[in-house]
Every structure is written in C-alpha cells, then in structure tokens.
Amino acid sequence: MTAGPSPAGPPAAAPPPAGPPAGAPAARFTEDWFEYHTPAWRRFFDGVGWDAEAPHVAVEIGSFEGRSTIWILENLLRHPDSRIHCLDTFAGGVEHQADRIAGLYERFDANLRAHGVRDKAAVLRGPSFDGLVRLLGAGVEADFVYVDGSHQAPDVLADLVLGFRLLRPGGVMICDDYLWSMEEPDTHDLLNAPKIAIDAFANIHRRQIELPDGLLRWQFGLRRRAPEPG
C-alpha cells in the first residue's frame, strides 16, 4: 500500500535516520551532480506536502553511482515499506567519459550498501524504455519519478511520457538538466538536450499537470493533477 503526497504531512526535510551502518565501507563517488539541488528539493517537497514517513514508491531513471538514489531514500522514502525502482543501463550516456563508466554498477551497488539502503532499491538494468514498459506492465504506481537518464531529446520525451503514466494523481515528477546542453551555445544542437522534450511534454500535458514552486531553473518539476470529477 502506498500513499500519495499528503497536503498535511510533515516536512520532507527531516535529517536521515541513522546514516551508514557501523563498520560499513565508505561510499565512493567520482561525480556530484546532485548535492547542490538538495535545498531546492527540500523546498519543492515541503511545498507539495510530501510526507517522508509515509510509504511511497519512487522511480529513478538514471541512478549512476547512487548519489541521488541515496538522498531520495534517506530523505523522502524513510518508511520501511517505501521502495525505489532504479532504471539505468549503467553504461553512461553519450556525454560521459568511458573511464568513469568502468565498474559503474558495482559502485552504485556498493554505495547503497554503504548507506544501508540497498534493500529498498529494485534495479532494472537496461534502457529506461524497457524498464518503464515493464513497470507499467506490472501495474506499478509511483508517487515520485525522477528523470535523469539519457539527455538525448527523443529519449527524454519517452521517459517523460512513460514515467508520467506511472505517476498516481497527486504524484510528482522532476526532470534534471532542463537548461543543459552538450555543446557550446553557438553550436548547440537542440536534440542533444532535454529542454525541447520537456517543453513539448509540458505543453501537451498542460491540462494534467501543475507546476509547484521551489526548484531551481536547471530542473523542471510537476505534479499530476487529480482527474476532474464526472
């Protein structure tokens, strides 16, 4: 049983319960694309009334070394029954350097274990399209979807459309790198970036979404509206 964000819930910003288990090996990261978003995420989740102590289901498209996964688990998914589905090829995207990708899945797995949260993560290793279709076929309903996988516009569009289908009414979705570009501005290829896909998705779904405040402009966040009565 999962619950959607409740308007009356306590703030999402409570400190993590216990941190890494005693004696666990230290987590190992080569990148940090996430930490600077956390003040904005606290504002956003407080604003939508997210109750971190209630059971929730989250889906993360693009987990990399698990930095965002761990934060989500420790700060948003504190109930023992909460779960996150992590969809990742663990092969990197076109923008990643090959030397950062070697051993990526093993690093992700070890980092979650070091934080004592591995049991709450179900991993679907492979292209997000396949993983999302599997979750939809299994009838999974999500309270939160984080879209941070491939940054190629056609892939982002598919992730948003399928991820939105997983979202229960009242559930929230965040897409990273709204303003990111693989190239310098003067040679910018719109199709190598998420923005055109996010804009198209948001325009087409405008009657089904609302846009809560809180995030930095680098990310795009929405809440799925409840269907109109009748």
Ligand X SMILES: C[S@@+](CC[C@H](N)C(=O)[O-])C[C@H]1O[C@@H](n2cnc3c(N)ncnc32)[C@H](O)[C@@H]1O
Residues that bind ligand X (CB under 6 A): 33-34, 62-64, 67-68, 87-93, 127-128, 148-150, 155
**Nearest residue (CB) to ligand X, 48 versus 61:** 61
* Minimum gap (Å) between residue 3 Cβ and ligand X: 24
Q: Which two tokens stand for residue 88?
A: 């990742």
**Nearest residue (CB) to ligand X, 55 versus 93:** 93
**Nearest residue (CB) to ligand X, 43 versus 54:** 43
- Dihedral sign, Cα of residue 168, residue 89, residue 192, residue 69: positive
CB 27 within 8 A of CB 71: no
* Minimum gap (Å) between residue 103 Cβ and ligand X: 12
List of residues 6+ apart from 10 with CB closer than 8 A: 51, 52, 53
Distance (Å, whole) CA 90 – CA 163: 19
Helix axes 128-137, 153-166, angle to 10 degrees: 20
* Minimum gap (Å) between residue 200 Cβ and ligand X: 18
* Minimum gap (Å) between residue 109 Cβ and ligand X: 13
**Nearest residue (CB) to ligand X, 127 versus 214:** 127
Helix, strand or coil for residue 27? coil
